[in-house]
């Protein structure tokens, strides 16, 4: 009898196995250099803003004008690139890739995931601008709409136009920016096992380069600065709105001192939440926020012009989608430059300044989801909810303004923070609903500070998934301090300008991030396992991998015929029905 054939050798593992990387240590030491530079610069800016508020605001305004005049067109083009890229990735073969091991389940359920994503993305912003922006567009018709005041349909077009431009600024484009940033970070962290920081996502472009460490720290520092200033601006908005609510509802005179007390109290609440961690504090507060927002929206829907809102939502959303290409290509070159600078270009830059914060946080909570699930969830769920929110809140205000004795022009002229309470004042149960609104804004303040602080802690500790809590608390206190000092110095407008200025260099970082992401997705075997096998292992091994294992499973029982079994690619290893 001839010697039995040796068992076949196991095939070599692919370069990037679909099973995903080994688990990475979640808590890492602080990167002292990155943290030291970032903390020093932020504290220096706080000091300058406090000591020289007028000069700070003048300089930031001049810089903002230069950015918008010279690079406004680039913000418009970049926003479109992010939206097109997000849709392409979701619809392509890359959508099958899982952000983690091949068999890994999502870390968070659907409702907590959506709630945290929504709270981090624009919770305070929707409360602040949900009524104010549609009313602003109603009172001052956006020039790109090109409406004719003498037309018989002018009033209808004016109302619809106010809603569709609110959608344009808050729906698909901002969430596409967040989706691209979040996907690149989630893929790098959970698929490749790297750190949860921006610089790690650039590994396909910087890996093995002598200058990579310096470039990585520069990218992380830019992400930290954008996060600190972008978040502080939104928290300042939230504090203003709570202070106005206390003035209107409880009779507490609105003042700078009250605003500082509000910031201090909410920052203290954030510290408690931060020590609870992302699975408890942020998760539960975000879920509560979504439920409270749904409650307020349902009340306004029932108490307001319900039939008009039911008609307005599909009509305005359809108009937004049909005009999306035209609106996305308007730059102000043929008129309306000042309006474009004040609204669209400002928003695009603002979303970019939020991208490192929101993208990093969304990546942190999206482990275990497929790329397609991730993009569809990030792009469509908050976008749909935002259209409903603006239709109900802004649509009710517009209808009341046009068809009742209510007049909101004075509230909008005083400031955006007054618009929401002006609407609620014209509806029943004003005191109760306004109290819930203030509670919701306060909760959004805490969750935004909590989310941003987790991101800042991650960026300053080599991408730690669970940064040390003292570090998280430090960044939360710093964000609160930025908002407080700039409110005290009257420089909230200067801080708002600073977020736009920071967005310009970060826009180039985001465009390079797109290139790095596509380079890695194209090489991932999960995007096309058979093609990967054909290319790296040859046709015969690919057939064995795809078909041979199934044949083995079907013939794994006793061989009653006493013949050798067929094993694709490796021959027979049996004689006479028994295994050697």
Q: How many CA atoms lie within 13 A of 576 on its CB side?
A: 4
What pLDDT does residue 16 have? 45
pLDDT confidence of residue 489: 66
Name the phi and psi angles at 405, rounded to 5: -80, -5
Q: Which of 404-418, 462-476, 562-576 is predicted most confidently?
A: 404-418
> Two tokens at 367?
């482990």
Q: What angle do CA 134, 328, 90 make, to 5 degrees?
A: 105
Asked if 26 and 465 touch (Cβ cutoff 8 Å), the reply is yes
In terms of Cβ atoms closer than 10 Å to its own Cβ (0-12, 13-18, 19+), residue 26 is: exposed
Alpha-carbon span 82 to 90, nearest angstrom = 12
Q: Say if CB 300 and CB 479 are below 8 A apart.
A: no
pLDDT, mean over the chain:
82
Flag whether pLDDT at 566 surpasses 50: no
For residue 235, pLDDT over 50 is answered with: yes
So what's the pLDDT on residue 24? 52
Note whether 382 and 175 are within 8 A (CB): yes
For the segment 93-140, what is each residue's pLDDT rounded down to a tens digit? Answer: 999 999 988 888 888 888 888 877 766 656 778 888 999 999 999 999
3-state secondary structure string across 409-431? HHHHHHCHHHHHHHHHHCCCCHH
Tell me what pLDDT residue 577 has: 42
pLDDT attached to residue 228: 87
Q: What DSSP state is assigned to residue 95?
A: G
Q: Label residue 564 by pLDDT band (50, 70, 90).
A: very low
DSSP string, 441-463: HHHHHHHHHHHHHHHHHHHTTTT
**pLDDT number for residue 23:** 52
List pLDDT tens digits, range 29-41. 888 999 999 999 9
**What DSSP element (H or E) covers 579?**
strand 578-579
Contact between 421 and 434 (Cβ < 8 Å): yes
Distance CA 139, CA 162 (A): 9
Give the pLDDT score at 426. 93
Distance from C-alpha of 308 to C-alpha of 396, rounded to nearest angstrom: 8
80's CB contacts (< 8 A; 6+ apart) are: 173, 328, 329
Rounded Cα distance between 148 and 362, Å, is 43
Distance CA 176, CA 85 (A): 8
Question: Can you tell me the mean pLDDT for 238-260?
Answer: 82
pLDDT of residue 450: 77
pLDDT at 495: 62
Q: What is the DSSP letter of 152?
A: T
Say if CB 169 and CB 344 are below 8 A apart. yes
CA distances from 96 to 93, 372, 441 (A): 6, 7, 38
| Class of residue 7 by CB neighbours under 10 A (exposed 0-12, middle 13-18, buried 19+) | exposed
Question: What's the confidence (pLDDT) of residue 325?
Answer: 95
Whether residue 463 is predicted with pLDDT greater than 80 in this model: the reply is no
Question: Helix, strand or coil for residue 575?
Answer: strand
Highest mean pLDDT among 36-40, 47-51, 414-418, 494-498: 36-40
Q: What is the pTM of this model?
A: 0.82
Q: Which residue has the higher pLDDT, 266 or 518?
A: 518
Instruction: Tell me the pLDDT tens digit for each residue of 297-348.
Output: 999 999 999 999 999 999 999 999 999 999 999 987 877 888 888 889 888 9
Instruction: Tell me what pLDDT residue 338 has.
Output: 84
3-state secondary structure of 14: coil
Q: Tens digits of per-residue pLDDT, 4-21? A: 555 554 444 444 444 445
Give the model's pLDDT for residue 196.
Answer: 75
Among 283-292, 294-303, 442-451, the range of highest mean pLDDT:
294-303
CA 226 distance to own-chain centroid: 14
Render 39-62 in DSSP notation, one character per residue.
Answer: HHHHHHHHHHHHH-HHHHHHHHHH
Burial readout 412-437 (b: 16 or more C-beta within 10 A, e: otherwise) = beeebbbbbbbbbbbbeeeeebbebb
pLDDT of residue 570: 42
The angle, 0 to 180 degrees and rounded to 10, between the axes of the packed helices 469-488 and 256-274 is 170
């Amino acid at each position: 009898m001839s010697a039995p054939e040796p068992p076949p050798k196991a095939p070599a593992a692919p370069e990037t196995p679909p099973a995903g990387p080994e688990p990475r240590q979640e808590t890492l030491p602080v990167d002292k250099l990155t943290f030291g530079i970032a903390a020093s610069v932020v504290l220096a800016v706080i000091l300058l803003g406090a000591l020289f508020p007028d000069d700070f605001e003048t300089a930031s305004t001049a810089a903002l004008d230069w950015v918008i005049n010279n690079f406004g067109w680039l913000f418009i083009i970049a926003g479109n690139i992010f939206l097109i890229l997000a849709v392409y990735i979701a619809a392509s073969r890359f959508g099958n890739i899982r952000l983690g091991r091949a068999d890994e389940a999502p870390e968070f359920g659907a409702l907590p995931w959506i709630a945290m994503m929504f709270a981090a993305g624009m919770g305070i912003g929707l409360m602040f601008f949900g009524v104010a922006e549609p009313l602003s567009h109603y009172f001052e018709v956006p020039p790109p709409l090109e409406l004719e005041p003498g037309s018989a349909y002018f009033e209808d077009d004016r109302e619809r136009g106010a809603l569709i431009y609110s959608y344009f600024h808050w729906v698909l484009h901002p969430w596409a920016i967040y989706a691209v940033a979040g996907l690149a970070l989630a893929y790098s962290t959970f698929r490749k096992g790297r750190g949860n920081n921006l610089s790690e996502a650039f590994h396909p472009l910087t890996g093995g380069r002598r200058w990579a460490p310096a470039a990585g720290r520069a990218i992380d520092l830019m992400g930290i600065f954008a996060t600190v200033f972008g978040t502080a601006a939104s928290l300042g908005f939230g504090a203003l709105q709570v202070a106005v609510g206390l003035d209107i509802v409880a009779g507490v005179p609105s003042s700078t001192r009250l605003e500082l007390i509000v910031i201090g109290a909410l920052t203290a609440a954030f510290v408690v939440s931060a020590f609870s961690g992302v699975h408890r504090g942020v998760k539960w507060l975000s879920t509560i926020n979504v439920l409270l927002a749904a409650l307020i929206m349902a009340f306004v829907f029932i108490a307001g012009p319900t039939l008009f809102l039911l008609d307005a939502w599909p009509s305005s959303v359809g108009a937004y989608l049909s005009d999306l290409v035209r609106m996305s290509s308007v730059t102000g070159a043929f008129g309306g430059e000042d309006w474009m600078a004040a609204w669209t270009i400002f928003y695009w830059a603002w979303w970019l300044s939020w991208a490192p914060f929101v993208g990093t946080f969304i990546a942190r909570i999206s482990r275990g989801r497929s790329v397609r699930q991730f993009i569809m969830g990030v792009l469509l769920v908050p976008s749909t909810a935002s259209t409903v929110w603006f239709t109900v809140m802004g649509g009710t205000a517009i209808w009341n303004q046009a068809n009742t004795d209510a007049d909101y022009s004075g509230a909008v002229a005083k400031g955006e923070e007054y618009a929401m309470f002006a609407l609620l004042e014209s509806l029943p149960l004003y005191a109760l609903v306004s109290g819930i609104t203030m509670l919701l804004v306060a909760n959004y303040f805490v969750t935004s500070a909590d989310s941003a602080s987790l991101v800042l802690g991650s960026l300053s500790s080599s991408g730690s998934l669970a940064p040390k809590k003292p570090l998280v608390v430090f960044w939360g206190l710093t964000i609160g301090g930025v908002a407080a000092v700039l409110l005290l110095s009257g420089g909230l407008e200067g801080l708002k300008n600073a977020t736009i200025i920071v967005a310009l260099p970060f826009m180039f970082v985001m465009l390079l991030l797109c290139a790095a992401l596509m380079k890695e997705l194209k090489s991932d075997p999960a995007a096309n396992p058979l093609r990967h096998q054909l290319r790296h292992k040859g046709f015969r091994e690919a057939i064995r991998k795809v078909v041979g294992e199934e044949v083995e499973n079907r013939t794994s029982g006793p061989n009653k015929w006493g013949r050798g079994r067929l094993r694709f690619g490796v021959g027979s290893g049996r004689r006479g029905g028994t295994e050697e």
